[in-house]
Structure 1
Amino acid sequence: MNRPVVAGVDGSPSSLAAADLAAATAVARSRPLVLVHGYLHPMGYGVPLNPYDLGVPAPTAESEKMLESVAADLADRYPGLRVQVRQVAGGPGATMVEESRRAELVVVGSRGVGGFAGLLVGSVSGQLAQHGHCPVLVVRPPEQPIPMGGPVLVGVDGSGSAGYAVELAADEAARRDAELVLTHVRSPERGAVAPEVAAEASTAEQAESAGLLAAAAERVRAAHPGLRVTERAVVAASPEAALLQASGTASLVVVGSRGRGGFVGLLLGSVSQAVVQHAHCPVLVAHRPEGD
């Protein structure tokens, strides 16, 4: 199935940055690009106010012009790009979650129209990160330049979700000809225990960390023999703190939708959620596409 790359566009600078990255990604993957605008009815939020009027509200001429303008600009700047535009009568968050069922990748800005400066992730990107049905790329605001030469960073914790994140991160690093950094974070030694007990626990944790990284690196090198892979064991107060700090020099951070110990009903784990909210570079949330 030739699944498209889908970008949510509302005219905001953040969404335009997302559309630009989505266009580059679509060309690199030889996929079509679909620009989607989920619009709300001016007063009824997409639902007719009159219960006897079951017609679907029409899109506005202004939003249609905005979409066509963005599509034309991208087609000019990315030769070979196949781009379509679509408006959907519904809330933008629900619209993009539904679009993700048929997409290879969904790209959204971290803030849309009406977002506050202190709210790094808006409701649309937040909903997609939680409930997307394919990988979701959240693009940082355009005022935060992306370090294009930086590595692709991914956390390793032994969970199935993190395993899929490593797979996606390796694919992205190979496409970008970038270094892949596999990171496992463990807590510092704590507590008033006997020195020999603390030393034994520390040795066991180091061995577990090294084992997880080695196993992940072996799988990556088998799939991508020429890829530069770095295994990085980190001692930090929390995995999210370590990943956020490392994101400052990365071109992309890839996170699983759930980590070790996550509950089935918790679609986005606390580490992934923190990284999506506060990373200094784009974040790819590794939702496995439906049907895969």
Structure 2
Amino acid sequence: MASSSASPVPAPPRSRSPLAMAGARFMRNRAALVALVALLLVVLACFAGPLLLPNNAIDNDWSAISVRPTLQGMHWFGTDEVGRDLLVRSLEGGRVSLEVGLLGTFVSGFFGVAYGAIAGYAGGRTDSAMMRIVDMMYAIPYMLIAILMMTLFGRSFYLVVLTISAFSWLDMARVVRGQTLTLRTREFVDAARATGVQPLAIIARHIVPNLIGVVVVYASVTVPGIVLTESVLSFLGLGVQEPMTSWGVLVEDGAQKLEAMPWLLLCPATMLCLTLYCVSFVGDGLRDAFDPKEH
């Protein structure tokens, strides 16, 4: 006798969010995944290494002055002319450079996204006027402004971040503005506008959330640019000042003593290049993950 109970209906396949699909595509990119692991190890070493190593970035070891890289005394990267451990100084400098890169990217990204989204959504004369301001900012010699600000207000960590962020938001604003011009004509924006939602609320609730992929990808490109800019400023003597150090400061100091103590340049420069390469590979992986058509 046939059973009167109905057979269970199979559940429909669970749909995956765009973020989950982007994450799956990123995990399949082996180069980007390896670069991400290496980058996390560098970040972990820069922030936790100085706390675990026995040497200090400021203390002098007068028994080990200008020592080449060696396993003795834990001076794996060697010491400088006053006996300071280069490994700890490189990790401390990496922490400062990474903090400048992340904080500068956050500040410039926040302002660039807000500026570009408002300009793109407003359109018309407002958009034209706001983008002309961006064009005028591009025409200002960045290095001249940096030198002027450092000369007038002195060198400090937050002033370096502010100086770099003052011009780093321009590219983000242009990218966001172009994407917003497309999003503002979509049906969900028209529906929100028809129900009486205010323009700023539409930008915050409907435009910006749909720009997350573009913002994340472009932020991954901005971080190495800001780190490299800080290194250039420090190399020119316009970056952070003692006792704080950064990779740019160490590279500038090592370049002056290249013939006598080449390890003072090679060690921090290698860490800087490794970090920039890893961030670049991660950025390429994020671009392919969020926009597979670019692959």
Tell whether the structures are fold-level matches, with TM greater than 0.5. Answer: no
Q: Which has the larger radius of gyration?
A: 2
Normalised by the size of structure 2, how large is the TM-score? 0.22
Higher fraction of strand: 1
